[in-house]
Amino acid sequence: MESPLHRHLNRQIEKYLSQQDIQNSPDLSAFVEVINQTYLNYDKDAELFEHSARLNDKEYSEINKKLKEELQKKELFQEKIIEAIKQLNEDGNELDGQAGLLDLIKILNREIDIKKDFQSKLNLAKEMAEKANDAKSEFLSIMSHEIRTPLNAIIGLVYIMEKENTLESFHENIEVLKHSAQNLFLLINDILDFNKIEAGKIDIEKIPFDFKELVKQIAKSLQVKATENLNRIQLDIDADFEPNLISDPLRLNQIITNLVSNAIKFTKNGIITIQINQMALIDDVSTFKVAVKDTGIGIDKDNFQNIFQKFSQAETKTSRQFGGTGLGLVITKKLLNLLHSEIYFDSQIGVGTTFYFTLSLPVNKRYDAVFTQDLQEDYTEQNLEGMRVLLVEDNLINIKIAQKIMGQWNVIVDLAENGLIGVQKFEKNTYDVVLMDLSMPVMDGYEATTIIREQNKRIPIIALTASASFGYLDRAMQIGINEYIIKPFNPKELNMKLKKYFLK
């Protein structure tokens, strides 16, 4: 025996076996050694148990729970060991006893295999968690770069314009400022859209629209961006395509815009084609395929699985060379899933990439499509002379910007610095629209809106807010806000919303 016999085991052996039995059977001797080691390990566990009592309560509770589980397993093994020894002694049949021992060894081996499998799964989970953490860290690094780049341009150009203080400097730098601000705005929108989709807060609308007109507008609005890379956008639409459909034009606009913008980014001196093929038209349901083709750099097959994953681009160097957050295709895929569709693609390095999807949408037989200008980037702002707007806003810079913007449309703006003043002015004057900030001192926009709604159910109230959280916006709609505009806002969007309530 390699180790001295544990007192408990020695007592059991003296009761059921003799030393001669053990010496005459090498297998039994080895088996007793294994049992003896189990007892010795048990004593060590007992020492650990006593030591755990000196630990803090939380550690004690966790360790005690694990010890109990292990002890229960060891008690089960001990019962089987004792049963095997009894059978060996009672039968006097070495073969039968040996079979029982093999069964016990099988049980032990199975337990070892289970633990190995469990450990392997733990290691795999740890590896996946580390990869996810690395991906998020890389994403945050990319985000930091993408946000700081336009901010750096804005801050630097403002400084230069202040120093130079010339009309030439103003005209030279204003376009760059607009471009940087727009990039920052689109970046924030991507993040908010992704967050909203992840939270399940996007509802697909069902409104009539002209799909063909929608695609034309997208091509027109992105042609300037395409020209920067010496690209050309072309349309290839089936002559028999049925364009009058019912779905969510805003989300479809977002999907196709993402795909075309992606194609523009990875293509230089090439062609981007938006192709629509009518596949079927049965029982007033149109099934058609939309494809966006480019002649760009293509995607390596090794990266096919990565491009639709959040916090991922085909390669890290891709984000550094071409920019972007890697969220565009993720958002596109999730929006298509909400429309009961999937996105697919074919690609060849150096030849180009084609992204495509299929939709089945009801046909709009009444032809009362939505006002397509709502989706146009080249929307012409309307003169709103004589319109009276109550602006409830506490931030001086936002007040100045809103007043100057609405002043371009000849809107009469009455200012209230907080919700309480806003309520007081509303009670004394007549307005066409109330523009309501939600977060203000003294009285916030929620309380002010609630009071105004008690007095007037029909006055249009538009939330003009930087609070893009779903909870805040849902609450705003519940208390009587008609619609909302998220800061930073596009002046054209504000003009369109005000125009809806403008009575000449």
Write the DSSP symbol of residue 343.
Answer: E
Do both 21 and 114 map to the same domain? yes
Structural domain includes residue 170: no
Tokens of 61: 């509770």
> Smallest Cα–Cα separation from 37: which of 12, 6, 13, 69?
6
pLDDT for residue 315 = 43
Does residue 179 form part of some domain? Answer: no
Structural domains of the chain, count: 3
Amino acid of residue 422: G
Residue 161 is assigned to a structural domain of this protein? no
pLDDT value, residue 455: 94
For position 73, what pLDDT does the model report?
A: 77
Q: Helices 167-198 and 328-338 meet at what angle, rounded to 10?
A: 50
Cα-Cα-Cα-Cα torsion 170, 176, 177, 181, nearest 10 degrees, comes to 160
**Residue 76 within a domain:** yes
- 370 and 399: one domain? no
What averages of pLDDT result for each successive group of 10 residues across the chain (504 residues)? 69 75 78 76 66 56 73 72 54 45 62 78 78 60 60 71 73 71 70 66 79 89 85 94 89 88 90 95 94 89 62 45 60 88 90 94 70 55 94 89 91 95 95 92 92 94 74 76 82 89 78
Region of residue 291 (phi > 0: left; psi between -120 and 50: alpha; otherwise: beta) = beta
* pLDDT number for residue 289: 96
The answer to whether residue 196 sits within a structural domain is no
| Residue 266 burial class via C-beta count within 10 angstroms: exposed 0-12, middle 13-18, buried 19 and up | buried
HSE (CB half, 13 Å, CA atoms) of 440?
A: 29
The pLDDT, as a whole number, for residue 132 is: 62
Domain membership flag for residue 163: no
For residues 354 and 403, membership in a common domain is answered with no
Do 245 and 102 have their domain in common? no
C-beta separation of 97 from 88 below 8 A: yes
If asked whether residues 216 and 251 sit together in one domain, one would say yes
> Residue 41: how many CA atoms within 13 Å on its side-chain side?
12
Starting at the edge strand found earlier in the chain, the sheet holding 352-362 runs 232-237, 271-282, 285-293, 352-362, 343-348
What CATH number is attached to the domain comprising 267?
A: 3.30.565.10
Residue spans of beta strands (DSSP E) within 410-472: 412-416, 433-436, 461-465
H or E element at residue 25: none
Residues 402, 268 share a domain: no
Tell me: do 218 and 353 sit in the same domain.
yes
Assess if residue 141 is contained within a domain.
no
**Same domain for 257 and 289:** yes
pLDDT at residue number 91: 46
CATH number at residue 423: 3.40.50.2300
In which domain, by residue range, is 449 found? 388-500
Q: Which of 358, 361, 359, 382 is nearest to 209 (CA)?
A: 361
Same domain, 287 and 370: yes
Instruction: State how far Cα 270 lies from the chain centre.
Output: 32
Minimal CA–CA distance to 324: which of 262, 253, 267, 260?
A: 262
Domain boundary among 129, 147, 178: 129
Contact 287, 245 (CB under 8 A): no
| 244 vs 45: CA distance, rounded Å | 75
Last residue of a domain, one of 71, 97, 129: 129
Is the domain of 448 the same as that of 342?
A: no
What is the reported pLDDT for 138?
Answer: 57
- The residues near 64 (Cβ < 8 Å, ≥ 6 apart) are 49, 52
Report the C-alpha gap between 361 and 186 in whole angstroms.
28
Helix (H) or strand (E) holding 78: helix 57-91
Q: CA of 146: how far to CAs of 187, 188, 262, 322, in Å?
A: 8, 10, 16, 11
Same domain, 43 and 68: yes
Residue 429 lies in a domain: yes
Same domain, 395 and 487: yes
Q: What was the pLDDT predicted at 305?
A: 61
